[in-house]
Chains A and B, each alone.
Chain A
Amino acid sequence: MTGEISLLTIFVLSVFVGFEVVSKVAAILHTPLMSGANAIHGVILVGAILVAGKAESTVELVLALLAVVFATVNVVGGFVATDRMLSMFSGKERRR
């Protein structure tokens, strides 16, 4: 199996896992789930680190570092915002 085919395999299987994991979500959790998924795509930070790490020209380094800053904001902001949202929910659950 060549490299590109195995990447395609991973992609296709991930699509099914992605559909499967959220298929039974409760309606009140739609927004926190969206926010949590938002934080997870911040994993582009790994990609930003990899391109910044091998950047040779100044242009590449500047673009890659900008990506690192953006991706970090996405990651930390995403997880913190999701946690705040859920802390509100868990309070509600307990009161019920």
Chain B
Amino acid sequence: MSQDLVHLVYLLAALCFILALKGLSTPRHARTANLVGALGMVFAVAIAFGDGRIGNVGWILAAIALGVIIGIPAARAVKMTAIPQMVALFNGVGGAAAALVALTEFLATTGNAGMRAATVFGVLVGCVSFSGSLVTFLKLQELMTTRPVILPYGRSTAIGVSVLCLGLAVAVVPTASTALVITLSVAGLLLGVLFVLPVGGADVPIAISLLNAFTGLAVAASGYVLGNTLLIVAGTLVGASGTLLTRMMAKAMGRSLTNILFGAFTPAAIGGDGG
């Protein structure tokens, strides 16, 4: 199939996503907008099979079928009140997928320095989003305490792990070492947990929104690794709109973002109202 046609359909899908996000901002068009987004996704996935030589088609279709079998009942069966934690789960698996795509492409071809930088970003942010979202799910589902969890030396541990992640990420770019990338993903998973544990119950939706934006950026990074414009556009759209949305949500609740994310680390917030 002609690559021009593939890229035109990618452009069409990107337009659908932009219109979907725009329409979701107004109550009247929100439901139609969601369908426009879904339509864009159908176009994008269908044309992806014509993007270059795609093998293993049977396996891929089976994997998609499995995903549909898991996804639709999961979204339909949950109670309305449980939808936020389902969104968190869907966001988490999206983050995991972004990390896996970057990792797999890295195993196939280590690429140049720019691509490796995008790879480590995709793997790290995707892993943080995955494990962070799982913790937010556990909190909202009340499978664990909804109160902020303050680990002993939590702050120093979180800073230590962040520095470790940063160090590993920087080290991968010149070395292209697979072992380092795998270590980085484990450290990223740990960082995601440490990042969300101190967030208290009422603030969890804001943390989900931020992780949602993170996943968007991880998708954009994976798109850069693959040289795929649609992934870059859609991922960046979600990353940018998600960041702005997170700020607006925090503002609507009368809270500052730094207070929500790091408030539990400051001694004054532990006993008090945190405001």
Contact = CB atoms under 8 A, between A and B. Distances in A.
Interface string B92-107: 0110111011011101
Question: Which of B60, B224, B235 is packed against the most chain A CB atoms within 10 Å?
Answer: B60
B18 interface: yes
Contact of B248 (A25, A75, A86): A25
Interface string B20-35: 1110111110110111
B128 interface: no
Given A45-B97, A69-B63, A93 B27 contact: yes
Interface size class of A (residues with CB under 8 A): 35 or more
A63 B100 contact: yes
Nearest to B68: A76
A39 B75 CA distance: 12
Contacts of B136: none
Contacts, number: 346
A88 B87 contact: no
Given A30-B252, A37-B21, A68-B60, A82 B54 contact: no
A45 B93 CA distance: 11
Contact of B223 (A47, A59, A70): A47
A36 B97 contact: no
Interface in A60-81: 60-61, 63-81
Contact of B41 (A11, A15, A42, A68): A42
Contacts of A17: 18, 237, 240
B67 A76 contact: yes
B219 A41 contact: yes
A64 B74 contact: no
Contacts of B222: 44, 47
A41 B20 contact: no
A1 interface: no
A46 B113 CA distance: 24
A23 B26 CA distance: 11
A77 B21 CA distance: 17
Given A37-B245, A43-B231, A60-B104, A67 B97 contact: yes
Contact of B245 (A25, A28, A48, A63): A25
Contacts of A86: 30-31, 34
A21 to B, nearest CB: 4
Given A14-B240, A63-B100, A64-B100, A54 B55 contact: yes
A67 B101 contact: yes
A76 B37 CA distance: 11
A71 B237 contact: no
Contacts of A49: 45, 48-49, 54, 60
Contact of A72 (B22, B66, B80, B245): B66
Contacts of A45: 41, 44-45, 48, 64, 97
A28 B252 CA distance: 10
Interface of B: 13, 17-18, 20-22, 24-28, 30-31, 33-35, 37-38, 41, 44-45, 48-49, 51-57, 59-60, 63-64, 66-68, 70-72, 74-76, 78, 80, 83-84, 86-87, 89-91, 93-94, 96-98, 100-101, 103-105, 107-108, 114, 205, 208-209, 212, 215-216, 219-220, 222-224, 226-242, 244-245, 248-249, 252
For the complex of A and B, list the 10 residue pairs with the smallest distance between their C-beta atoms, beginning with the closest: A72-B67, A18-B240, A53-B54, A14-B236, A74-B94, A80-B75, A67-B100, A76-B71, A68-B63, A77-B71
